[in-house]
Structure 1
């Protein structure tokens, strides 16, 4: 039986109190394996404790500690390392103990032949490799199962949250619409009720739009429509719109594109870029109680970078990598703190991919976050 070159990675420990046997074994198999030799069980244990041994081969009859005792020790301390016992015809009891107590892969009667021992070694290593691969697959399945269960849990919580978010504006619409039926309410109250109904309707429409948007993105039912347009005009439009949104808050929204050519025309999908930046600004407002938000842009050669900076609560370091994922723990925590469906960053990320953009974030707890959209223009 011919062993492949990949077998060279294996470390084999051979223990025998006869130096001549050790020399013959090492000379025979050193081209196929990394051979470690020991003249006693005590020396063999030291090698076991200091090297990553894949297979132990031990002679049975040795002073101080027998081969079975050594293999039993190795089984208890290193159960994944396979074991082979070398013994004579008369050592039946030793063979039984090796099988029952040391769980040897096989015993080999002396004197051994190179061909038969090489086949047994190859079989032992392949069995060990299969067992290790089985363990890796079991661990991978366990992780996948846990991930799927966590995803299902987060999706279930999302559905409950969705129900709550829809009912809130619906209750506002139904409740205040019924109050409008009262002929005795004065003009100012009527105007106030209508305003609440309008706001509730807008909130409900945003929820529906988010659900439709993420559904289309997930199912790839989207078309990218590139066009040329003035980036400054788009940013000014967003600045004006979101200034209205925060007019009654303690926030300030700045637009900073002084270094950017006011007549600069870019080519991409304007609607998707608008959606990305709207969601980033919405996210910044949601997590910034006071201070300021800055919308800015720079051009570096063929690259345009658009930034949304805030002085908000920041993002924990362990959530940075998952903040853009749908149904992530980070997304769930954010939703619990601020309300809403928590799909904004997922929508922004998916749209960024569609227009060949890259969305990144830097953040520090208590200091705020900076989201950066990078667009390549050629």
Structure 2
């Protein structure tokens, strides 16, 4: 338990440093504007407001992610198991994200065959996995295509989120599911989302992996979940 607490403290410190620094910078900007007089204060205030709003949102999301993965890793997370169709989950997420994809010039296509078998899992957790994979595909693809597909295997359901985006080099393919791993220090995001996806899939007795031919060649993130009759 002490080791878990130490790890949580370290993870929280690591993850929250950047948004806190940006909030401090925004406050400094506003204070300097006040000292120089009224001219430009309104414009500067709007900039500060935007920085604060964005980074407070990032802080809230980071805290949620860190608590999520800590509970998953400690075995404290209780799953709410139900019988459902991945088809419904995918369609719901695409409806919610299609606008964000369109802004970046990306086309999202759902390629799900009829009659996919049901799975028995925590629907909210599987929603979280699929949503994160699609969100990542949107972030790292410009003027491209994103396809979501699924197929039934003999003992599992395999879901694939494929994009025509920037692709991954060999090191990133190996490390991309590590907690806090980012391809570069300036890369977008916290580097914890895929680690959460991995934990969620694993506690459902599934597997998750990525395929990519290299930089500029797109990516295919895949995961499997046992079929309902096999759980």
TM range (shorter): 0.7 to 0.9
> Any residues of structure 2 matched to 1:95-134 within 5 Å, and which?
none
1:261 alignment counterpart = 115
Change beyond 3 A, Cα 1:233–1:168: farther
TM-superposed CA distance for 1:165, in Å, is 3.0
SS at match of 1:217: helix
- Asked whether 1:372 is paired with 2:222, we answer yes
Counterpart position of 1:251: 106
Alpha-carbon displacement from aligned partner over 1:33-76 (angstroms, at most 9, x marks no partner): xxxxxxxxxxxxxxxxxxxxxxxxxxxxxxxxxxxxxxxxxxxx
Provide the TM-score with structure 1 as the length reference: 0.48
Unpaired runs of at least 5, structure 2: 1-6
Which residue pairs with 1:241 in the alignment? 96
Q: Which runs of 5+ in 1 are unaligned?
A: 1-151
The structure 1 residue matched to 2:173, chosen from 304, 317, 320, is 320
**1:217 corresponds to which residue?**
72
Distance 1:229 1:162 in 2: 36
Matching residue of 1:202: 57
Equivalent pairs counted in the alignment come to: 212
How far apart, CA to CA, are the structure 2 residues paired with 1:322 and 1:210?
A: 19
Aligned partner of residue 289 in structure 1, secondary structure: coil
Change in Cα spacing, 1:299 to 1:210, as seen in structure 2 (3 Å) is same
CA contact (8 A) 1:359 1:373 kept: yes
> In the aligned structure 2, how far is the partner of 1:266 from the partner of 1:281?
20
Deviation at 1:347, TM superposition (A): 0.7
What is the alpha-carbon distance in structure 2 between the residues aligned to residue 231 and residue 275 of structure 1? 12
Distance 2:23 2:111 in 1: 35
Q: Secondary structure at the match of 1:318?
A: helix
Structure with the greater relative contact order (CA < 8 A, sep ≥ 6): 1 or 2? Answer: 2
Structure 1 position 339 matched with structure 2 position 194: no
Quote the offset at 1:192 in angstroms: 9.9
Between structure 1 and structure 2, the one with the greater Rg is 1
Q: How does 1:57-76 map to 2 (within 5 A)?
A: none
Distance (Å, rounded) in 2 between the aligned partners of 1:241 and 1:173? 34
For the structure 1 residues 374 and 174, does the alpha-carbon distance in structure 2 shift closer, same or farther, using more than 3 Å as the test? farther
Q: Which residue of 2 aligns with 1:163?
A: 17
1:173: how far off? 9.5
With normalisation by structure 2, the TM-score equals 0.75
